[in-house]
Amino acid sequence: MLILRYIGSTALSLFGYLGELLFLMLESARSIATTPIRWRLTLRQVLEVGFRSQLVVLVTGAFTGAVFAAQTYFQFHRLSMETAVGAVVAVSMFRELGPVLTGLMVAGRVGAAMSAEIGTMKVTEQLDALRAMGVHPVDYLVVPRLIAMVISVPILVGECVGIGIAAGQFVAVQLLGVSEVYYVTYMRKFTALRDLDITLTKGFFFGILIVFVACNEGLKTKEGAVGVGQATTNAVVTGSLIILIVNFFLTMVLNIFFPAGV
Amino acid sequence: MLSVSGLTKTINGQQILRGVDLQVAETETLVIIGRSGSGKSVMLKHLMGLMSPTSGEVHIEGRQIVGLKERQLLPIRKTVGMMFQGCALFDAMTVEENVAFPLYEAGERDRKVILGKVADALDSVDLTGHEQKLPVNLSGGMKKRVALARVIIARPHCILYDEPTAGLDPVVSDSINHLIRRMQKRFGVTSIVVTHDMKCAAHVADKVAFLHEGQIYFYGAFDALMASRDPLIQDFIEGRSGDTD
C-alpha cells in the first residue's frame, strides 16, 4: 500500500512538473506570437549564453575529443584498426558527445545563472514589480532567453564538435602516429551532412529544454535565499537529467530521418 | 476609483482576509493601518491583481478585476502604480534605467524624451545627480525615492504604497511622508498607504482604515481614530502589547 502511494504521488508530481513546463512553453509561444520581441534583451542574452560559454564548451569539446581518440586508439590498435579512429571520433562527436556535453555544460553554467537570477527577482518582489508595471514576466524574462538559447546552443554544439574532432585528430595523428591520410579518409567516409543535421537538431532541442527548466525553477522560487539555492540546484540537476533522457529519444527518432551508415 | 467588497483570502488553510469592504474616492488618500500579519500587504496585492482572492470583488475605475487573466490585467495595472515595501528596484539597472523602465516598456524610444522625463521624476523626489548609481549603492531612503520616481513617471491614476517608511529613520520617514503628500497634490493621484507608522498615517491620511484579523475594524477620519476609546485601537496607537516583563 505504501509503495503504491509512493508511486502514485511520484507520478502525480511528475505530471504536475510536466504540466508546468508545458504551460510555460504555451505562454512563451503565445508571447512570441502576440507581443513584440525585446531584441536588445535578446542580444544581451546571446552575449551571455553564447559568447561567454565559449571557453567552457571549447575546453570540454577539445579534451573529450582528445581522450576519446586516445582510448579508441588504445582499443583499436590491438585489432590493427587504428585507422578507424577518425571515423569513430567524428561520428561520436557529431551524433552524441558534442550535443550532450555542450547541453550539460550549458545547463550547468547558463541554466543555473538563469534560475538564480529569476529566483532572486522573485523573492525580492522584482517579478511583482514587473507585473505591477504591466509587463508579463514571460515576455520580459523567458522569451529573450529562449530566443538566445535557440540561436546560441546549436552554434556552441557545432564549435564543440569541431574542436573535439580537431583535438582527436591531433592526438591520433601527432601523438599516437596514426596515418593522417587514413584518419581523414575514413572520417570523411563515415560522416556526412546528416550528422551535422543531427548535432544541430539536438542542440536546438537542448537549448529549449534548458531555458524552460531553468526559467520554470526561477519563476516558482519560494522562501528567500534557501529557495533560490534550491531552484538553482533543481535547474542544473533536472536540466541535466532531462537532456540525457531526451537525448535517447531524440537519437531513436533522428536515426529514422538521418540513418547512420555509409 | 477603487473599491473592494467581500474580499476574503485563505492561504494554507489560514484565513488572512475575512470579508473586507472598502471604497477609495478619486484623489483621496486612504491609510490602512494594522498590526504585522493583519493582512495589510496581502490586501494591497489584491488591489493590484497580484493575488487572487478566495472570494469577493475588486474594482479599479469601475472594472471588476477578479477573475481576469494575467494578460488581461496588464493594461489595467498601468493605471495603478505600486511602491513595494522592499522597493523592488531592478538591481542590474542603474537609477536612470530603473526610472526609465516604464517609459521604455510603454514604447517610448526617443532618448531625449526619456532622459527629460527621468530628470523630472528624479527632481520630484529630490534625487537629481544619482542617475548612474546602482541600487546596491543607495541608502534605504534613496531606494524608496527611486521606487517612487519609477511609479510617478508612468503617470498612474492611483498609487499604492506598501510600508513606505518601514526601516527608515524618523527624518527620512518624514521626508517620504512629505513626498507622498506632494505627489497627491501635484499629480492629483488617489493613494492607498499601508503602514503601521502612526506618524505617517497622521501626515498623509484623508481617511484611515484599521485592519484587524483580516477585517476592517475601524474606518473614518484620522482624528476620529485618535479620539476612539476602543481599547484595541488605543493599544495600537500607543504601541501597547499587553505583555509584562
> How many Cβ pairs closer than 8 A exist between chain A and B?
52
With a pLDDT cut of 70, the percent of chain B lying above it is: 99
User: Within a 13 Å sphere around the CA of A229, how many CA atoms are in the beta-carbon half?
Assistant: 4
* B180 CA: distance to closest CA in chain A (Å): 19
**Backbone phi and psi for residue B209, each to the nearest 5 degrees, phi listed first:** -120, 130
B88·A124 Cβ contact <8 A: yes
Which pLDDT does position A261 carry in this prediction? 63
B55-60 and B2-11 strand pairing: antiparallel
**B-proximal residues of A, 99-128, CB under 8 Å:** 121, 124-126, 128
pLDDT digit string, tens, across residues B81-112: 999 999 999 999 999 999 999 999 988 889 99
Pick from A132, A133, A136: which is nearest to B71 by CB?
A136
B80·A132 Cβ contact <8 A: yes
The class of domain B1-70+192-240 in CATH terms is alpha beta
* A123 CA: distance to closest CA in chain B (Å): 10
pLDDT digit string, tens, across residues A170-184: 999 999 999 999 989
A121: which chain B residues are within 8 Å (Cβ-Cβ)? 90
A223 interface with B at CB cutoff 8 Å: no
Which pLDDT does position B167 carry in this prediction? 80
Confidence category of residue B188, pLDDT binned at 50, 70, 90? confident
Whether the pLDDT of residue B240 is over 80: the answer is: no
Amino acid at A127: L
Domain contains A1: no
Pick from B85, B86, B154: which is nearest to A133 by CB?
B154
This complex has an ipTM of: 0.89
B86·A135 Cβ contact <8 A: no
d(CA A225, CA A119): 9
Which has the closest alpha carbon to B100: B111, B91, B92? B111
B85 interface with A at CB cutoff 8 Å: yes
Confidence category of residue B175, pLDDT binned at 50, 70, 90? confident
A132: which chain B residues are within 8 Å (Cβ-Cβ)? 48, 50, 77, 80-82, 84
A133·B45 Cβ contact <8 A: no
B93 interface with A at CB cutoff 8 Å: no
Domain contains A30: no
Phi-psi region of B6 (alpha: psi -120 to 50; beta: other; left: phi over 0): left
B77: which chain A residues are within 8 Å (Cβ-Cβ)? 131-134
pLDDT digit string, tens, across residues A82-118: 889 999 999 999 999 999 999 999 999 999 999 999 9
B91·A124 Cβ contact <8 A: yes
B91·A132 Cβ contact <8 A: no
Domain contains A7: no
Which pLDDT does position A262 carry in this prediction? 53
Which pLDDT does position A257 carry in this prediction? 86
Domain contains A233: yes
A123: which chain B residues are within 8 Å (Cβ-Cβ)? none
pLDDT digit string, tens, across residues B142-167: 999 999 999 999 999 999 999 988 88
Pick from B74, B80, B88: which is nearest to A129 by CB?
B88
Can you give the residue range of the structural domain that contains A138?
A: 38-257
d(CA A26, CA B180): 41
Residues 6+ apart with CB under 8 A from A28: A138, A142, A143, A146, A212
DSSP annotation string for A23-41:
HHHHHHHHHHHHS---HHH
Confidence category of residue B124, pLDDT binned at 50, 70, 90? confident
**In chain A, how many domains are there?**
1
B101: which chain A residues are within 8 Å (Cβ-Cβ)? 133
Per the structure block, which three cell numbers stand in for B184? 497627491
| Chain center to CA of A30 | 24
* A128 CA: distance to closest CA in chain B (Å): 7
A134·B89 Cβ contact <8 A: no
Which pLDDT does position A63 carry in this prediction? 97
B90: which chain A residues are within 8 Å (Cβ-Cβ)? 121, 126, 129
Whether the pLDDT of residue B245 is over 80: the answer is: no
CA distances from A253 to A5, A89, A259 (A): 34, 22, 10
Q: Which residues of chain A have pLDDT under 50?
A: none
Which has the closest alpha carbon to A199: A123, A111, A100, A110? A100
Domain contains A239: yes
Which has the closest alpha carbon to B189: B163, B145, B152? B152
Residues 6+ apart with CB under 8 A from A182: A83, A86
B105·A129 Cβ contact <8 A: no
